[in-house]
Amino acid sequence: MGAQAQGEGATNMTEAIGIVAAMLSLGTPLVIAGTGEAVLERTGVLNIGIEGMMLAGAFAGFFVCHATGNPWFGIGAAVGTGILLAMVSSILVLGYAVDQVVVGTGINLFSLGATGSLFVAQFGETGRLVSVQTVPKVGGVWALNPLMLIAVCLVLGAWFILKKTNWGLAARATGESPEATSAAGFSPIRIRTQAFLFAGATAGLAGSYLSLAQTNSFAENMTAGRGFVVIAAVTFGRWMPVGASFACLFIALAYGMQFFSKAKDLPVPYQLFDALPYMLALAVLWGVGGGSAAPAKLGIPYRRNQE
Amino acid sequence: MGRETMKYFCALFAIILSIGCTGGTQSNGTAQDAKPTPAGPIDGPLKVALLTPSSISDSGWSALAYRGLQAIAAETGAEIKNAVAAQAQEAKDLMRSYGQQGFHLVIGHGYEYNQHGIDIGKDFPKTIFLSTSGSQIAPNVGCLRFYLEQAMYVLGAVAAKMSKSGTVAMIGGPEVPSIASTFDAFEQGAKETNRNIRVLRTFTGSNDDVGKAKAQTLAAIDQGADFVIHQANAAAQGVFEACRERGIMAFGTNSDQSAAAPDVVLASAVIVAEPVFVRVAKSIQEGSYQSGIELVGMKDDAIAYVWNPQLLPQVPDDVVQMARTLAQKIREGEIKVTKREF
């Protein structure tokens, strides 16, 4: 009887560890991308193209790692690809004041098509399930993924820069009133460009986590909407890197619960766990009283010479 | 009644009559009407098109159909075209366009294309619309159904025989009838080999989300599963990755996936589309094709299970022997493997 109870306890422990591991594994890419998106949205720019940047990063990382056998080169390539796409987006969005949703959608469609075509060109028309060198684990018995540690550093760094530096103050002001930032001697366009490149780098890094640290492979459209989840999480997290990270982890926890409930065949509909983060997001919105925390100029272009 | 009114009545009558006639010739969606229509041999090169629900680079379901299409081109010299058509409207537009371009055979790879074939086929009597699944036929609309369940049954038996924990798991992509049906067969094979085996059945809802496939597999392994079969198509690598991390074995599906994870994939349940596709294409070329519902399985060499040569030495002889005996019994019809109607 006692032994049986003990066995039961051990199983529950394993299950709990399994759910937490799933949360960290699924949540890390969301946290990484969410940090960049939160900083960017704070400056007043919405990056719908985050999904495409993640996918392009996932492919670039996979491709370079497959070619060189070194996952760190792959991660570098992924970050570079994210920055490149962010550069194109920022020229259109900030330089020419093209609609942000249109540019972002274009980036998403381009990435989906380009990565699909390149994957087929490289690995044959019928594809191959290819596996690549993985990022080595660190931390001894804990076997942590180094990208998880990078994620934590990113979140804390972004929080510090936004809250404690002059650049952060100017960045937050740009999201509220770029005219005022400009009058104070900062260039809103330059600040938004810098934030955009940072967001692109984090999106690319998040993509490489999917292909190089989590699954060690690539599949067409493997991001499967994670970029849009991140955009939702940033809103849920009230446009703050730390808040957005908790929102991302909460969504990942709901996924982990869902996988657990399906594997255990619990009499709970697994769709409930899918809906859980959004139900909580609605509750948060209701509680804090609407969009008061949203940057006032989110999604609105700034023109240098406007009167 | 004036002469003018009379004229209108005549015209109206003629219109009604003509609608009735055309209706009569078009309403031929039933099995009784599906008599052979000897079209005669085709002049010039055969033109064949393939529609798949996902990219042909998925190393699974869509990839195997594309290999079949390539075999048609190699064996009959046919002109081939292929396209991805995930949405119903997209599929219908493409089928109509292939019909207009005079294609002789349009293969829709999945049960969803069957209804489209019935709808579009009426307007293009010279084009054969073949769907790989489905149950509706017309003189130029046929179904070819792959009995993958037969191989899934054998793998289920192998899993149940070799499992030490007494738990095996099935990881599916979207929860659709075609996938659920193969899981039924895997479970049947497992239960008929070991009555007490626990078979976990899960779906991630996605064919390409590799991360979710891995997380779902890990959750199943946490529940004690020591053998895993998947129906996750392009996301399969996530399943294999989870199994590699925990040191357990998996089975591949649709195509031989031993090469994808040589240290993890013990065997695969495969569909071999080439011979059947080529046979159908040749019969259309000769003008002898008759539409119908054809179920092809192990006895047609369209379905098989393949061991991974690298891991085969680790399989006990009695398990290898059992798999062979079961396959033989399935071939001879002694074992009836379940298959859902869809």
> What sign results for the dihedral spanned by CA atoms B42, B46, B47, B50?
positive
Q: Specify if A284 maps to a domain.
A: yes
Q: Specify if A73 maps to a domain.
A: yes
Q: Which two tokens stand for residue A6?
A: 């003990």
pLDDT computed for residue B28 by the predictor? 40
Residue B1, pLDDT > 80, answer: no
| Residue A196 structural domain | 21-293
Interchain contact A47–B (C-beta under 8 A): no
Taking a contact as any Cβ pair under 8 Å apart, which residues of chain B between 85 and 114 contact chain A? none
Q: Specify if A5 maps to a domain.
A: no
- Mark yes or no for CB contact A129/B241 under 8 Å: no
Interchain contact B180–A (C-beta under 8 A): no
pLDDT computed for residue B57 by the predictor? 80
Query: Greater confidence, B323 or A294?
Result: B323
Interchain contact A301–B (C-beta under 8 A): no
Q: Which two tokens stand for residue B300?
A: 């047609």
Q: How many CB atoms lie within 10 A of CB B244?
A: 18
pLDDT computed for residue B32 by the predictor? 41
Residue B235, pLDDT > 80, answer: yes
Architecture category of domain B149-271+311-331 in CATH: 3-Layer(aba) Sandwich (3.40)
Q: Label residue B29 by pLDDT band (50, 70, 90).
A: very low
- Mark yes or no for CB contact A126/B66 under 8 Å: yes
pLDDT digits (tens, 9 = 90+) for B294-330: 999 999 999 999 999 999 999 999 999 999 999 999 9
Contacts of B174 in chain A (CB under 8 A): none
Residue B284, pLDDT > 90, answer: yes
- Mark yes or no for CB contact A255/B219 under 8 Å: no
Interchain contact B219–A (C-beta under 8 A): yes
Query: Greater confidence, A47 or A145?
Result: A47
pLDDT digits (tens, 9 = 90+) for A53-99: 999 999 999 999 999 989 999 999 999 999 999 999 999 999 999 99
Q: Label residue A126 by pLDDT band (50, 70, 90).
A: low
Q: Label residue B107 by pLDDT band (50, 70, 90).
A: very high
- Mark yes or no for CB contact A129/B208 under 8 Å: no
- Mark yes or no for CB contact A119/B241 under 8 Å: no
pLDDT computed for residue A261 by the predictor? 87
Sequence-distant (6+) residues with CB within 8 A of B186 are B152, B153, B155, B156, B159, B170, B199, B229
Interchain contact A24–B (C-beta under 8 A): no
Q: ∠ CA(B210), CA(B211), CA(B217), 5° rounding?
A: 90
pLDDT computed for residue A103 by the predictor? 96
Distance CA B186, CA B342 (A): 18
To the nearest whole Å, the CA of B271 is away from the closest chain A CA by 14
pLDDT digits (tens, 9 = 90+) for A269-286: 777 887 877 787 777 767
End-to-end C-alpha distance for chain A, whole angstroms: 81
pLDDT computed for residue B133 by the predictor? 86
Q: Label residue B292 by pLDDT band (50, 70, 90).
A: very high
To the nearest whole Å, the CA of A75 is away from the closest chain B CA by 17
Residues A299-307: contacts with CB under 8 Å, at least 24 apart: A299/A44, A299/A45, A299/A46, A299/A100, A299/A101, A300/A44, A301/A93, A301/A94, A301/A97, A301/A100, A302/A44, A302/A94, A302/A97, A302/A174, A302/A178, A302/A188, A302/A189, A302/A192, A303/A97, A304/A189
Interchain contact A264–B (C-beta under 8 A): yes
Residue A266, pLDDT > 90, answer: no
ipTM more than 0.85? no
To the nearest whole Å, the CA of A129 is away from the closest chain B CA by 5
Contacts of B219 in chain A (CB under 8 A): 18, 22, 256, 259-260, 262-264
Architecture category of domain B47-146+274-300 in CATH: 3-Layer(aba) Sandwich (3.40)
Domain CATH for A283 = 1.10.3470
Q: Where in chain B is the domain with CATH 3.40.50.2300?
A: 47-146+274-300, 149-271+311-331
User: Cα A221 to chain center, whole Å?
Assistant: 15
**Strand order of the sheet with strand B265-271?**
B198-203, B167-172, B227-231, B249-254, B265-271, B303-307
Residue B251, pLDDT > 70, answer: yes
Q: Specify if A9 maps to a domain.
A: no
pLDDT digits (tens, 9 = 90+) for B62-100: 889 999 999 999 999 999 999 999 889 999 999 999 999
Q: Label residue B33 by pLDDT band (50, 70, 90).
A: very low
Phi, psi of B81 (to 5 degrees): -140, 150
Q: How many domains in chain A?
A: 1
Instruction: Look at residue B50 and give its three-state secondary structure.
Output: strand
